[in-house]
Amino acid sequence: MLRGIDVSAYQSPSYDTDGLSFVFVKATEGRSYTNPRLAAQAKRGRDAGLVVGFYHFLWPGNLTAQAEYFLSKAPDRPGDILAVDWETTGEGTHASNAEKDRFLRRLKELRPDNRVVLYCNRSFWLNVDTTSYAGDGLWIADYVTAGKPRIKAAWRFHQYTDDPRDKDVANFASKAALLSWAKSA
């Protein structure tokens, strides 16, 4: 299991990279929000030699505009991972299964050199998702023992805690294997 974290505007751009193999950086949300620390947080990960991913918090509607907005902010670099954060919005709504699937497929069309993964929590995966479509892999949030999410589906990444920060593991034998997977889109 490889160790990693995910960061957003709530975390410092000088986060600790010791022992990490990867980082996911929040890039955008909807059609107007951009993480003001995006560039600095991505640079920190790259400077430490981490595999870098970017995620977009998906809102219902305007999927093409959201995809284009996300990709206008996430660097166009082969080997980076693109993730879609699918959960309930601050307004208590969420993108539908069809919207989630279309968004993932649209990212794959627009960025064929990047792996695209779905992030959601265990409850969404088990109770809201009806298609089981996760693009190139599932990033599941379930706050239990690292690497042991309580799902039957294959997963690539597991967010297992948010205390004191979001911590993740990746289901790869080595950092080289993760990098090879990320670059083989």
Answer whether residue 66 shows pLDDT above 90.
Answer: yes
Quote the number of domains for the chain. 1
Which range marks the domain in which residue 109 is found?
A: 2-183
Q: Which of 18, 87, 109, 162 is catalytic?
A: 87
Q: Which of 6, 85, 101, 168 is catalytic?
A: 6
Q: Give Cα separations from 86 to 115, 140, 180 (angstroms).
A: 17, 10, 26
At residue 105, what is the residue type? R
Q: How does pLDDT run across 100-115, given as a tens digit for each residue?
A: 999 999 999 999 999 9
Q: How does pLDDT run across 130-181, given as a tens digit for each residue?
A: 999 999 999 999 999 999 999 999 999 999 999 999 999 999 999 999 999 9
CATH number reported for the structural domain that contains residue 163 in this entry: 3.20.20.80
Let me know if 6 is a catalytic residue.
yes
Let me know if 87 is a catalytic residue.
yes
